[in-house]
Structure 1
Amino acid sequence: MSLNAAPKNENPIRVMVVDDSAVVRGLITRMLEAHADIKVVSSVGNGKMAVDSLARNEVEVVVLDIEMPVMDGLTALPKMLEIDKDIRVIMASTLTSRNADISLKALQAGAVDYIPKPSSSRELSGGQDFGTELIEKVHIHGEARRKAKGAPSVSVSRPRGIAPRPAAPLQPKPVKEVKLRPRSLKERPDIIAIGSSTGGAQALFNVLKGMHGKVRQPIVITQHMPATFTKILAEHINRMTGWPCQEASDGMLIQPGQVYLAPGDFHMTVEGSGPQKILKLNQNPPENFCRPAVDPMLRSVVASYGRKVLTVILTGMGSDGLKGGQVVVENGGDLIAQDEATSVVWGMPGAVAQAGICSAVLPLDDISSYVVKAASGGV
């Protein structure tokens, strides 16, 4: 065994890597198999080969490229889900507008996540951030599949000699019961603030569509996404939900009935204490390893709107939104969260739910109706 080889694991997460570049497949495979709890059981060069291989192999997570000959990733995705409806597919693509658009379409079609891929094998081989993010996503989605299947969990490991990244736990420890707090805000909120991450795009489409035409307050959203993706996400929100949604720009005036999305790599905050409030963007250090982050948005919303804030925390990895959510509640605002059963990852909503600061923890399909009632002062 080499110095950096991980000890053998008897029950590793079984992964398929799909990419038309043999070099990229090899690099990704080595990244994954440096961890004892991950095993690459198939490595193929196009979507057709992936579909054929899935029919022969037991696979839990697929890392799926988009642009490939014979059959591309978006075409292969529904065919793979026909074979195994519980397969966890992570789309991997370079950061182009076209690929961002396809990745979001793939999320709507059943993929659970995406990861921006360096544009060259040289960048990929030196891409520690890419490797760390990929490992985290494979772990979390592999575990989610096992939980859904009632299969044994796998203990997360790391290669020998490599220190873990100092980060918040991917998910809070499960609890049997969540303690709710009474609603603080007994009147109509003046703004609705939403935070989301892994699985958030699909959740946002669901929630916003159910609120369309029934809510007049402005809505500010921080979704953890790279810059190219947030612009495309804003366009998808426009198309799919009917809401006028814009990727925020510095100095943009906040108006009723509008949705504002934090751009990738920028924290989005609110400024102003009078009737006119504006959005401000900054590149202050990441918070909770994220930029944009939910916490600075929530702190600024409270500073501008006081208690008249309704916050929604949707599915996502980590605990971003917990500290900001505490500020919302301490100042008389209200906070609700998505429940564990309907979250792709019950990290962010689980953190606020288990902190006892939520007035409601709801299935995804019930969130929009709650917000509509709260927005009219009727909850």
Structure 2
Amino acid sequence: MSFAAATARASVATPSGPIRVMVVDDSVVIRGMISRWIDAEPDLRVAASVRTGLEAVQTLERANPDVVVLDIEMPDLDGISALPQLLAKKRDLVVIMASTLTRRNAEISFKALSLGAADYVPKPESTREAGAADTFKRDLLFKIRQFGARLRRPVHAPSIVPAPAPEKARVVPPPAAHAPISLRPFGLTAPRVLLIGSSTGGPQALLTLVAEIGPVIDRVPVLITQHMPPTFTTILAEHLGRASGRPAHEGVDGEAIVPGRIYLAPGGRHMRIMRKGAGAAIALDDGPQINFCKPAVDPMFASAIEVWQSGVLAVVLTGMGSDGMRGGKAIVEAGGSVIAQDEATSVVWGMPGAAAQAGICAAVLPLDQIGPKVVRMFSGGRA
């Protein structure tokens, strides 16, 4: 999983100096590699490098890291067992799980998210694999920076300018930081499909949301793109099915899109929508990354217009980067509507923030208000 602007460096000058990172991995090769990457960055610093979860717990107070990169499989105390002990010792600690792409590790990573881990990064099977180490490095350093920087800046509740009358609706350029966010009216057409895009923090947000929108799923198709690698999306689909009580699976190329089901973009492939007779079908795309992501939200959002025109309601949840903003703008220009998660309840207010600041949203809401709002929208409510 990759994100927009992943190669950009954060400012070296921070209120508390470089972001302090503890590396926990029983592989001396991986541990040394990650430590070298961190030490080579002027805004990051290795606070400690240890081989087991037990050593991490014992070293935490002395090392005082901002971020911990935590392996899953280790002797003495594995990552999933060490996680709650680390968080108990330092409540605001950011823990990023690192694991190879096996089904078992993916399941453990999902459990870690529910226990308080901030995110995960897939480790390459071999550091000799072409491009794999570079992708791992880029994603890991980007997430360390994003989460570390978030610890050091307060969350400001943006001013919300109410939506004007429909004839005055307009898309405004991104304003300066903390400038008021202009809302636009909801589209006049009743929505006929629900699209959801998410990234960092998305799995937990998605599970919360789908549990609240059962009546919507029963009436219309729900399509989701979550930035995730293969295997992880397979398991996420299973979790979504259990949380919603409705069928959920990874989209299959060419399959018909029908109400009553949740379709999740499979890891490593973009999911678009195409016409199929009088209906719609999934079209999987193995093309290049978009917004440094694959799957990406923008192609799903933009392609939906060809089938449902103004009858699209899109939700942009927590995540890094700006994926979903361009596709959301296309939805709004076609007469549809966009809802974004607010900053206070987002793990990272990148994607929803980009949509909100672009002036394309009809609502910017806390996560617990998005589900009820969506249900009202599909029941005929417009406000």
Compute the TM-score of the two structures, normalised by the length of structure 2. Answer: 0.87
C-alpha deviation, 1:120, in angstroms? 2.9
* 1:120 counterpart residue number: 126
Whether 2:206 is the aligned partner of 1:204: answer: yes
Deviation at residue 125 of structure 1 after TM alignment = 10
- In 1, the alpha carbon distance for the partners of 2:134 and 2:22 equals 21
Residues 372 and 140 (structure 1), Cα distance of their counterparts in 2 relative to 1, 3 Å cut = same
Q: In structure 2, what residue type is equivalent to 1:351?
A: A
Number of the residue aligned with 1:42 = 48
Q: In the aligned structure 2, how far is the partner of 1:49 from the partner of 1:205?
A: 33
1:296-315 CA-to-partner distances (Å, cap 9, x unmatched) read: 11111111111001000011
Return closer, same or farther for 1:125/1:30 CA change in 2, 3 Å cut-off. Answer: farther
Quote the residue 2:196 is aligned against: 194
> Where does residue 167 of structure 1 map in the other structure?
none
Q: Which runs of 5+ in 1 are unaligned?
A: 1-5, 151-170
- Cα deviation digits, residues 40-66 of structure 1 (max 9, x gap): 111111111111111333111110101
User: 8 Å contact 1:95–1:116 — kept in the other structure?
Assistant: yes
Q: Quote how far apart the aligned CAs of 1:173 are.
A: 6.0
Q: Deviations over 1:68-120 (max 9, x none)?
A: 11111111111111111211111100111111111111111111111010123
1:4-41 deviation line (CA, Å, top 9, x unaligned):
xx999870001110101122111100011110111111
How far apart are the structure 1 equivalents of 2:78 and 2:343?
Answer: 33
Any idea what SS the aligned residue of 1:227 has?
coil
Letter in structure 2 aligned against 1:223: Q
Contact 1:218/1:255 (8 A) holds in 2: yes
Counterpart code for 2:117 = A
Equivalent in the alignment of 2:39: 33
Number of the residue aligned with 2:165: none
Pair 1:18-2:21 in alignment: no
Structure 2 vs 1, CA of residues 50 and 181 (structure 1 numbering), >3 Å: closer, same or farther?
Answer: same
CA distance in 2, matches of 1:48, 1:125: 32
The answer as to 2:148 corresponding to 1:146 is no
Letter in 2 for 1:99: N
Q: Residue 350 of structure 2 corresponds to which residue in structure 1?
A: 347
Contact 1:273 1:305 in 2 (8 A): no
> How many residue pairs align between the two structures?
353
**Which of 173, 179, 184 lines up with 2:187 in the alignment?**
184
Whether 1:218 aligns to 2:221 is yes
Show the counterpart of 1:155. none
Q: Deviations over 1:278-302 (max 9, x none)?
A: 1110112221111111111111111
Corresponding residue SS for 1:320:
coil
1:372 is aligned to 375
Whole-angstrom CA distance in 2 between matches of 1:45 and 1:185: 58
Q: What residue in structure 2 maps to residue 157 of structure 1?
A: none
Gapped regions of structure 2 (runs ≥ 5) = 1-10, 157-173
Report the counterpart of residue 73 of structure 1 in structure 2.
Answer: 79
Q: 1:87 to 1:243 in 2, by over 3 A?
A: farther
**Cα gap change, 1:34 to 1:126, in 2 (>3 Å):** farther
Q: Which stretch of the first structure deviates more once superposed, 84-93 or 171-180? A: 171-180
The alpha carbon displacement at 1:268 in A equals: 0.5
Mapped pair 1:265 → 2:268: yes
Determine which of 237, 240, 250 is the counterpart of 1:237. Answer: 240
Secondary structure at 2:58 match in 1: helix
In structure 1, give the amino acid aligned to 2:223. Answer: V
Partner SS, residue 135 of structure 2: helix
Q: For residues 310 and 349 of structure 1, what CA distance do their matches in structure 2 show?
A: 15
Indicate which of 251, 255, 262 corresponds to 1:252.
Answer: 255
Which residue pairs with 1:174 in the alignment?
A: 177
Instruction: State the 1:352 CA deviation.
Output: 0.8
Contact between 2:155 and 2:344, CA under 8 Å: does it hold in 1?
A: no
Alignment partner, residue 62 of structure 1:
68
| 1:322 partner letter | M
Q: CA RMSD in A?
A: 2.2
The structure-2 alpha-carbon separation of the partners of 1:54 and 1:241, relative to structure 1 and needing over 3 Å to count, comes to farther
Shift of 1:184: 1.5
Asked if 2 retains the 8 angstrom alpha-carbon contact of 1:15 and 1:62, the reply is: yes
Deviation at 1:365, TM superposition (A): 1.1
Q: Distance in 2 between matches of 1:7 and 1:224?
A: 28
Give the match for residue 141 of structure 2: 135
Asked if structure 2 preserves the Cα contact closer than 8 Å seen for 1:266 and 1:283, the reply is yes
Q: What residue is the counterpart of 1:285 in the other structure? A: 288
For residues 82 and 88 of structure 1, the distance between their equivalents in structure 2, rounded to whole angstroms, comes to 12
Number of the residue aligned with 1:98: 104
Identity of aligned residues (%): 52
Q: TM-score, normalised by structure 1?
A: 0.88
**Structure 1, 118-127 or 207-216: larger mean CA deviation:** 118-127
Moved more, 74-83 or 208-217: 208-217
Q: Is the 8 A contact 1:124 1:130 kept in 2?
A: no
Structure 1 CA distance for aligned equivalents of residues 132 and 281 of structure 2: 40
Find the aligned partners of 2:306 and 2:189 in 1 and give their Cα distance: 19
